[in-house]
């Protein structure tokens, strides 16, 4: 039994492929030699329907031709045998009847091609695929391929293929473009430089486009390229040096109408999916909406979900889906989808840099930020097209705006419930995906509410990231050390309170509209466990976030109140009103004997970007820390609080100086810009501001690495100047000995010999290339500057030391530090 998939409308994408073809020809003078080679390119995520469009290109043409009730003419340029280009009108039917379709994938078949040059191997694979796609026998394939390869030119080669099938156009789909780099093993010409390259990774792709340009120059090839690759990206200038213009397809996910049509037309064992699954049309609209929410409309996920669902109910004589169980049924097949499909992309390298990139993508998905399609982001020292970064994690692009035949000028990041659940099944991503709720914005509107929500989000993201980073890099994590400035002067700092991994978990909690009446139940349900708690929607009448952690027999409950005022200010009376409201709710908890098994400490922390003068900070701008027991006894109906309880209630007002210490100067500047920005500046600069915030988090991570390095190593490193290769070799043993002596190593000559052995056995070449992901050019630059450092010395390397060794690029230093961190962790 199998699912028969319908041809859901891709008319816009098929039309773009044809328009790209005939727009190659200039109307000026009508000569073929004025052809400007162009191709369509689809780099979308796995499951977006890239291959389906190419493999069913002829079927789509015939479908659209059949749908034409009358010949709606489209202007194109038809080439005559004389080489002239004559203006002519034709319909979908013209292409449906005159196109030869050939599809193949880049891969190992190239290594078996009996030709040394890439162009010849490409032609050989095209000839083989032409024969195979058109039903030839094994003997016919050999004869056909031999005859095609004997043609004396590329033009005659293409002409021969077309004449054998009496066609005018060759539709050529080259799939799995990412495998091109694998072919450099067999075709060294793919790595040959013709000019200075900014990144050697681009070289095979430039050579590839120069090669396919010869096919396009025949004027007979309609070229469609598909496959995810980071080397050919958003605005596609990467192909221009090869005189090939690339146009990207939109390939948007299915909308509600598409999914509805899919269910109606798809069949399983000859029976419509609609009849298999849904007993009535009344249910279908809600089911389609739910399916769109779960799958995001990604074609492969839609297909796999429906297939798993229909197989689940196949043995039942009647459809079983109803209003009550449809979501449960969809969720029940999630594991089957995850196991049977490669749709959910998990990067191969799982490190802190990957986690930060994921957080950046996830944040902007939740915010609904709109980006230009050529947006380039530099995160963790790596410059990447955002479209590539999005696809790396299984997110997709929803394109908006029209740019001629191209797919559009802007996009926003799309995702779906199933993909997010797939990510959350990995502990590594769960830390990033268990984040605080934020209603999607089509843009960040220029109003105080949106700015305030962003301020809260950024504050708590940095809060949690610092806790996690500090926890991983310190054996005795202290709250006030991990979160500098925020708890200055409070009992959390004075008692050097520590925290655990459990305290860093994130949770959603219901909003509290009446804190004084409901806080006890609220505390009983949620706040007795450790973690970071954030209300589900908008602004609550209580704290905007909670941080709960245990230290021995004491439970600390911290309520945060965030204010993001730039044009107005927050007064002392405003603070007291909010503090009264919080501590009134605390009374019932402190008076409840069922909670007396632990010592409770409550703290209300106010964080504001701008205060009124009535909030009087000291000249040094320390936090204002006040005893809050007055708020409790003043409103308590029965004053049963003991002295220890009263002494553990505090109001903390975070000074602007300490807010800057916590956020970092760059992030404070970002928040200032956000506060002052108008609507136009938001749409233009918001994504750059997000980038700044996440880059600062990365720098904080690297900084924490360096604090782990020993003071001894740092002292040695400061006295080492960059050396020549010969000096490096001569000084290596003395350098290692100095490190061992200063570190108190008394193992003598045997230890030195062992260290030298470790040094000579450490493969910096492989480490820089494989662990750090450096290009061959960067490896060649770094290797002579680092080769004297042995494996035993890696723990002493810092970014400052790398700079002294002559690694001038901040990006390279950061990538090397991440590689060392990952290596040492394993």
Q: Does residue 725 surpass a pLDDT of 50?
A: no
Tokens matching residue 229? 């690759």
State the DSSP H helix or E strand holding residue 457, giving kind and residue range, or none if neither. Answer: helix 448-473
What is the distance between the alpha carbons of residues 322 and 559, in angstroms, rounded to a whole number?
43
Handedness of CA 731, 734, 736, 739 (dihedral sign): negative
Angle, helices 665-676 vs 448-473, to 10°: value is 170
Of 58-72, 107-121, 690-704, 798-812, minimum mean pLDDT range? 690-704
The secondary structure of residue 767, as a DSSP letter, is I
Confidence at residue 538, expressed as pLDDT on a 0 to 100 scale: 47
Contacts of residue 239, Cβ cutoff 8 Å, sequence gap at least 6: 205, 206, 209, 232, 245, 246
Q: Name the percent of the chain lying above pLDDT 90.
A: 13
For range 726-749, the mean pLDDT: 35
Q: What is the pLDDT of residue 700?
A: 59
Three-point CA angle 325, 327, 328, nearest 5°: 65
Using DSSP's 3-state secondary structure scheme, residue 692 falls into helix
Query: What pLDDT, in 10s, does the model give residues 225-257?
Result: 988 765 665 445 545 556 788 887 878 888 888
pLDDT attached to residue 147:
94
Across 345-409, the runs of DSSP E, i.e. the strands, are 370-372, 376-379, 382-385, 396-400
Closest residue by Cα to residue 295 from 632, 48, 545: 48
How far is residue 509's CA from residue 295's CA, in Å, rounded to a whole number?
A: 26
Collapsed DSSP state (helix, strand, coil) of residue 729? helix
Q: Mind listing the pLDDT tens digit for each residue in 527-540?
A: 888 988 887 654 45
Q: Could you give the percent of the chain with pLDDT greater than 70?
A: 71
pLDDT digit string, tens, across residues 652-693:
999 988 998 888 877 888 888 877 877 667 666 776 777 777
- Tokens found for residue 159: 């002409």
Q: Does the pLDDT value for residue 736 go beyond 70?
A: no
The segment with the largest mean pLDDT, out of 197-201, 700-704, 759-763, 788-792, is 788-792
| 3-state SS class at 438 | coil
Prediction pTM value: 0.60
* Count of CB atoms situated within 10 Å of the CB of 753: 12
Burial of 235 (0-12, 13-18, 19+ CB in 10 A): middle
Half-sphere exposure of 666 (CA within 13 A, CB side): 13
pLDDT at residue number 403: 46
Q: Where are the alpha helices (DSSP H) in 23-109?
A: 50-55, 57-67, 92-98
Higher confidence at residue 518 or residue 300? 300
- How far apart are the C-alpha atoms of 435 and 453, rounded to whole Å? 14
Contact between residue 713 and residue 480 where contact means Cβ atoms under 8 Å apart: no
Tens of pLDDT, residue by residue over 2-44, are 778 888 878 888 988 998 888 888 655 545 557 888 888 887 7
The per-residue pLDDT for range 387-439, each reduced to its tens digit, is 778 877 888 887 776 544 445 567 888 888 888 877 777 766 766 555 444 43
User: pLDDT per residue over 634-658, tens digit each?
Assistant: 555 444 555 555 468 999 999 988 9
The tens digit of pLDDT for each residue in 150-168 reads: 999 999 999 999 999 999 9
Residue 727, pLDDT > 90, answer no
CATH of 3-72+86-249, one of 2.60.40, 3.40.50, 2.40.50, 2.30.230: 3.40.50
Burial of residue 52, with CB atoms counted within 10 A of its CB: 0-12 exposed, 13-18 middle, 19 or more buried: buried
pLDDT value at residue 536: 62
- The mean predicted confidence, pLDDT, of the chain is 75
Span 193-210, average pLDDT = 68
CA 712 distance to own-chain centroid = 39
- In this prediction, residues 86-105 reach a mean pLDDT of 78
Structure tokens at 799: 């970014």
Look at residue 26 and give its three-state secondary structure.
coil
Both tokens of 152, joined, read 């004396």
Highest mean predicted confidence (pLDDT) among 87-101, 199-213, 249-263, 727-741? 249-263
User: Pick the residue with more confidence: 296 or 722?
Assistant: 296
pLDDT band (50, 70, 90) for residue 603: very high
Q: How many angstroms separate the CA atoms of 447 and 691, rounded?
A: 21
Question: pLDDT tens digits for 766-780?
Answer: 888 877 777 777 888
For the cut 90, the answer to whether the pLDDT of residue 699 exceeds it is no
Higher pLDDT, residue 342 or 762: 762
Most confident range (mean pLDDT) of 276-280, 356-360, 572-576 is 572-576
CA distances from 652 to 381, 492, 493, 657 (A): 37, 11, 12, 14
For the chain, the domains span 3-72+86-249, 256-340, 352-436, 449-472+517-663, 764-825
- Of 778 and 280, more confident: 778
Q: Any idea which of 297-306, 517-526, 569-578 has the lowest mean pLDDT?
A: 517-526
List, in sequence order, the alpha helices (H) in 653-794: 656-663, 665-676, 679-708, 711-718, 725-742, 749-761, 764-766, 776-786
Comparing 81 with 457, the larger pLDDT belongs to: 457
Q: What is the DSSP letter of 622?
A: P
Compute how many other C-beta atoms are within 10 angstroms of the C-beta atom of residue 790.
21
């Amino acid at each position: 039994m199998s699912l028969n998939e319908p041809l859901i409308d891709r008319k816009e994408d098929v039309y773009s492929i044809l328009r790209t073809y005939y727009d190659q020809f200039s109307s000026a003078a009508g000569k073929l030699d004025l052809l400007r080679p162009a191709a369509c390119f689809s780099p979308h995520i796995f499951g977006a329907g890239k291959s389906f469009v190419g493999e069913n290109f002829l079927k789509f043409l015939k479908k659209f031709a059949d749908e034409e009730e009358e010949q709606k003419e489209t202007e194109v340029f038809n080439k005559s045998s004389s080489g002239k280009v004559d203006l002519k009108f034709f319909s979908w039917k013209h292409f449906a009847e005159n196109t030869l379709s050939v599809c193949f994938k880049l891969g190992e078949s190239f290594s078996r091609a009996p030709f040394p040059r890439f162009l010849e191997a490409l032609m050989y694979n095209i000839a083989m695929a032409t024969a195979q796609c058109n039903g030839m026998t094994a003997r016919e394939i050999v004869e056909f391929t031999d005859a095609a390869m004997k043609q004396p030119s590329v033009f005659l080669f293409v002409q021969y293929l077309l004449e054998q099938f009496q066609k005018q156009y060759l539709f050529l789909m080259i799939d799995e473009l990412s495998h091109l780099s694998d072919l450099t093993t067999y075709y060294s010409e793919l790595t040959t430089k013709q000019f200075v390259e900014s990144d050697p990774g681009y070289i095979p792709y430039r050579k590839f486009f120069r090669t396919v340009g010869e096919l396009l120059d025949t004027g007979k090839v309609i070229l469609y390229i598909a496959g995810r690759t980071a080397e050919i990206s958003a605005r596609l200038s990467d192909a221009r040096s090869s005189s090939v213009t690339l146009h990207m397809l939109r390939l948007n996910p299915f909308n509600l109408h598409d999914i509805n049509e899919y269910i109606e037309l798809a069949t399983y064992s000859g029976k419509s999916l609609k009849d298999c699954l849904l007993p009535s049309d009344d249910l279908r609209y809600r089911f389609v909406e739910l399916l769109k929410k779960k799958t995001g409309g990604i074609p492969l996920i839609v297909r796999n979900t429906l297939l798993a669902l229909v197989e689940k109910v196949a043995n039942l004589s009647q459809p079983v889906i109803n209003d009550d169980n449809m979501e449960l049924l969809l969720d029940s097949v999630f594991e089957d989808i995850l196991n049977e499909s490669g749709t959910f992309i998990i990067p191969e390298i799982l490190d802190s840099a990957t986690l930060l990139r994921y957080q950046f993508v996830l944040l902007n998905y939740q915010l609904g930020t709109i980006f230009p399609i050529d947006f380039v982001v530099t995160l963790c020292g790596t410059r990447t097209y955002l479209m590539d970064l999005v696809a790396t994690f299984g997110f997709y692009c929803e394109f908006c705006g029209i740019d001629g035949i191209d797919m559009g000028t802007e996009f926003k990041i799309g995702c779906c419930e199933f993909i997010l659940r797939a990510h959350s099944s990995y502990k590594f991503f769960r830390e990033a995906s268990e984040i605080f709720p934020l209603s999607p914005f089509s843009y960040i509107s220029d109003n105080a509410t949106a700015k305030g929500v962003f301020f809260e989000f950024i504050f708590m993201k940095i809060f949690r990231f610092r806790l996690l980073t500090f926890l991983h890099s310190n054996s005795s994590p202290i709250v006030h050390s991990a979160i500098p400035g925020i708890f200055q002067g409070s009992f959390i700092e004075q008692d050097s309170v520590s925290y655990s991994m459990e305290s860093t978990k994130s949770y959603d909690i219901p909003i509290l509209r009446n804190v004084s009446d409901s806080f006890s139940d609220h505390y009983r349900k949620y706040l007795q466990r450790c973690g970071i708690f954030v209300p589900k929607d908008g602004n609550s009448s209580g704290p905007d976030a909670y941080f709960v952690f245990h230290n021995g027999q004491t439970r600390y409950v911290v309520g945060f109140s965030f204010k993001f005022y730039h044009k107005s200010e927050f007064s002392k009376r405003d603070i007291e009103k909010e503090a009264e409201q919080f501590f009134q709710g605390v009374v019932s908890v402190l008076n409840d004997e069922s909670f007396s098994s632990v010592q409770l400490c409550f703290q209300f922390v106010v964080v504001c970007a701008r205060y009124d003068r009535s909030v009087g900070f000291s000249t040094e701008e320390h936090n204002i820390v006040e005893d809050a027991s007055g708020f409790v006894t003043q409103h308590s109906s029965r004053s049963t609080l003991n002295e220890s309880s009263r002494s553990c209630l505090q109001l903390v007002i975070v000074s602007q100086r300490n807010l800057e210490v916590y956020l970092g100067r760059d992030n404070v500047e970002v928040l200032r810009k956000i506060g002052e920005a108008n609507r136009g500046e938001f749409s233009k600069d918001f994504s750059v501001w997000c980038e700044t915030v996440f880059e600062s988090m990365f720098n904080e991570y690297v900084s924490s690495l360096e604090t782990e390095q020993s003071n001894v190593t740092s002292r040695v490193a400061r006295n080492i100047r960059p050396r020549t290769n010969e000096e490096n070799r001569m000084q290596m043993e003395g350098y290692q000995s100095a490190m061992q002596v200063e570190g108190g190593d008394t193992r003598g000559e045997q230890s030195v010999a062992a260290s030298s052995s470790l040094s000579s056995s450490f493969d910096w070449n492989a480490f820089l290339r494989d662990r750090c992901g450096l290009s061959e050019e960067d490896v060649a630059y770094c290797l002579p500057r680092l080769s004297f450092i042995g494996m035993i010395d890696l723990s002493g390397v810092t970014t400052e030391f790398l700079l002294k060794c002559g690694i001038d690029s901040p990006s390279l230093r950061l990538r090397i530090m991440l590689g060392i961190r990952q290596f040492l962790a394993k």
